[in-house]
Structure 1
Amino acid sequence: MNDWTPKPIPTAALARLPLTPEEGFVLSRLDGATPVRHLTALTGLSPERIQSILARLLTLGAVLPPPTSAAPPPTPTPAASVPAAPPRAPGELSDAGEEEDTTEPEDEDAEAHAGTFRQLFERRLHPLPADERARLARESGEPELSALCFDPVPAVIHALLENTRLGLAHARLIARHHLNPVGLEALCGRAAFASDAGVRRWLVRNPQLPAGLFRRLWGGRRLMEQFKVVGHRDVPEGTRRTAREVMRSRFSTAPAEERVELILLTEGRVLGALMGLPVDGKTAALLCGRVYRSPLLIQNLARWSAAPPALIAHLLKQEAVRRQPQLRQLLQRHPNAPADARRGD
């Protein structure tokens, strides 16, 4: 890593970055030709402090990342504290109530870095009185700033939110690791944090997410995003239950096009959570205007008690149904099946 030559990003709006005087000083010494090993003599700072500042500059987008062959900075960065999502099984929906978020690469060492921040908090910061931790939360830079995101006391989270250095990476740490509903409410009081995909991703996995906060953040989102929360394996059951209620409520008022999108994209898997909810004529017409080839989708529609009679009749005409007797029998047994179909015609 000492052979890495940090290069500032010319297009970065440096004047708008929340840099400390020390970070600004180091950045001013980066000329694109001086390797890391020479920065200690150039700045008078320790090698450890140089690494910490470079990690911070990387996080803020002020310098270009090192070549892929080089190791990442040994000092953990706030951005690296967002763990990579677990691998998904084939066909599994992507994220917990979120659109696919591929704008930020996930660091393979994120868990280890988050563990470092937690260790710092538990060993050095947690023994301090809560009011002292709150003071540090308002004033500190890295690595204390990231370490205090693990504080369980809501007053410390409130203090962190007053720190001008606090960014999205810290908000994501709080969303994931803070286990007090009061602190999570405070975090989402910032619109920029509440609307961030990474923050929302970790909020729905946090067992202390209040149901009321979930309703406020997800109540107006698209049905497909709500369904992803309902079916995600890493979301606590309490939140999944709330998400199911929110989705059912929104399904009753959503546009017909959005209802149809939900049914088709999930291949009818969502219908089990929508039992007892009828559909309007436009939704039925849109469903009847399609050709159906997926046996799974046809099977789920055949088991949907609210399936309109016109849809059952339309499905019975599909080539996939004519080729598979078991699908035809399922549809013929549906209470809304045409009378002639129930007689086996």
Structure 2
Amino acid sequence: MSDWTPKLNPAVDLRRLPLNAEEGFVLSRLDGHTREKDLPALTGLPPDKLRDILTRLVSQGALLPGTAAASPANTVRPPEAPAPALDASDTEPLPEAEAGDSTEDDAGATDDVPETVQGDYRKLFETRLHALPEDQRVALAHGTEDPELSALCFDPVPAVIKAVLENPRVGLAHARLIARHHRNPVGLEALVARAAFAADTGVRRFLVRNPQLPAALFRRLWAMRRLMEHHKLTVDRDVPEQTRRTARELLRQRFSTGPSEEKVELILNTEGRALGALVGMPVDGKTTSLLCGRTYRSPMLVQNIARWSAAPPALIAHLLKQELVRRQPPLRMMLARHPNAPADAKRA
């Protein structure tokens, strides 16, 4: 086989192509960097068969021809740009992610398998595999290859999922299918028991959207994540309410013990919106010092801090000195009414 590196054609909507299960499987394994000659080891397909599939994909327009220039957008769905890191020298808060945004940095965590191909796998399971006795499905899952292996990721029985995970051909694409579609906590526990899968951002992204993710398992996975990641989960509409509730509890726990830099990042990046979930949670001296070392130009941020009952006195005094507050009497009035405002501000 050649040194050609197959790349998806960003100008073609894969959902509109008449792909079969094998073609969809091969597409799911392409990362835009793996050469054709290395794909047999990655897919488990014979070289001649794989070459035929790649030829068909090129003829359908799913792949760029070998002579085409590489495209920077070479995934089924382009990954979102990671949020910019907090810089203590910045003078403006960073914008908060929208409520429906991804809960993690999704670079490299795009959905490996196109929706149409997932539908083919589900159909294969429902029409051919689901009717088999459970013990036969378990035995099949231990040794089969794609497309049957991917189809068995839709099996609702934990024993089958455990067998899939023991298959030597199982990979991240299968793990993400299980995280997204399996609805039994026992099967999800088996998935997370594989450290490589539990660490994958795609697997984690689908797990937190799975309504059957146990609270204890979520806590284990997310206990030490950054405060901003906890906050994003609490406002993500794609996350089930029970997981959002657990995320709010973890957010408060982590806020009381987490690094000062993360606390500042959370407050500034959300323009203080996260403080609504942190009622009664005080901050330490280092956090106060970092907050007092900034210039504030966001009225929304100042308003939310003014509504925060635990805002430290030093921060209230610092805000009262800001040019933004001096120019806007309503903001000054809000801060002056805060219980931790300086006495001279209350008299003014």
TM-superposed deviation, 1:289: 0.9
Distance 2:107 2:79 in 1: 11
Q: Structure 1 unaligned runs (5+)?
A: 31-38, 40-49, 59-64, 70-78
> Structure 1 pair 194/95, CA: closer, same or farther in 2 (3 Å)?
farther
> Structure 1 pair 256/208, CA: closer, same or farther in 2 (3 Å)?
same
> Normalised by the size of structure 1, how large is the TM-score?
0.77
**Please, what is the CA RMSD of the aligned residues?**
3.1
| 1:23-42 alignment, distance < 5 Å | 23-26=46-49, 30=51, 39=52
> Structure 1 pair 206/334, CA: closer, same or farther in 2 (3 Å)?
same
> Structure 1 pair 135/267, CA: closer, same or farther in 2 (3 Å)?
same
- Within the candidate set 197, 201, 212, 1:193 is matched to 197
Contact 1:287-1:311 at 8 Å conserved across structures:
yes
1:331 aligned to 2:328?
no
Contact 1:263-1:270 at 8 Å conserved across structures:
yes
Give the corresponding residue for 2:41.
Answer: 17
> Structure 1 pair 342/257, CA: closer, same or farther in 2 (3 Å)?
same
The residue type equivalent to 1:219 in the other structure is A
TM-superposed deviation, 1:84: 8.8
The residue type equivalent to 2:64 in the other structure is P
> Structure 1 pair 68/236, CA: closer, same or farther in 2 (3 Å)?
farther
Distance 1:17 1:319 in 2: 63
Give the corresponding residue for 1:103.
Answer: 108
> Structure 1 pair 333/300, CA: closer, same or farther in 2 (3 Å)?
same
Distance 1:211 1:149 in 2: 22
Identity over aligned pairs, percent: 62
Contact 1:176-1:205 at 8 Å conserved across structures:
yes
Give the corresponding residue for 1:265.
Answer: 269
The residue type equivalent to 1:279 in the other structure is V
Distance 1:237 1:191 in 2: 26
TM-superposed deviation, 1:188: 0.5
| 1:104-183 alignment, distance < 5 Å | 110-183=114-187
Structure having greater relative contact order (Cα 8 Å, sep ≥ 6)? 2
Q: Deviations over 1:297-336 (max 9, x none)?
A: 1111011010001111111111111222221121111111
> Structure 1 pair 84/146, CA: closer, same or farther in 2 (3 Å)?
farther
Q: Deviations over 1:86-143 (max 9, x none)?
A: xxxx9516744312x2336657x82222222111111111111111111111111111
- Within the candidate set 92, 101, 121, 2:98 is matched to 92
TM-superposed deviation, 1:16: 9.5
Query: How many pairs were matched up?
Result: 295
Residue aligned with 2:213, SS: coil
Residue aligned with 1:150, SS: coil
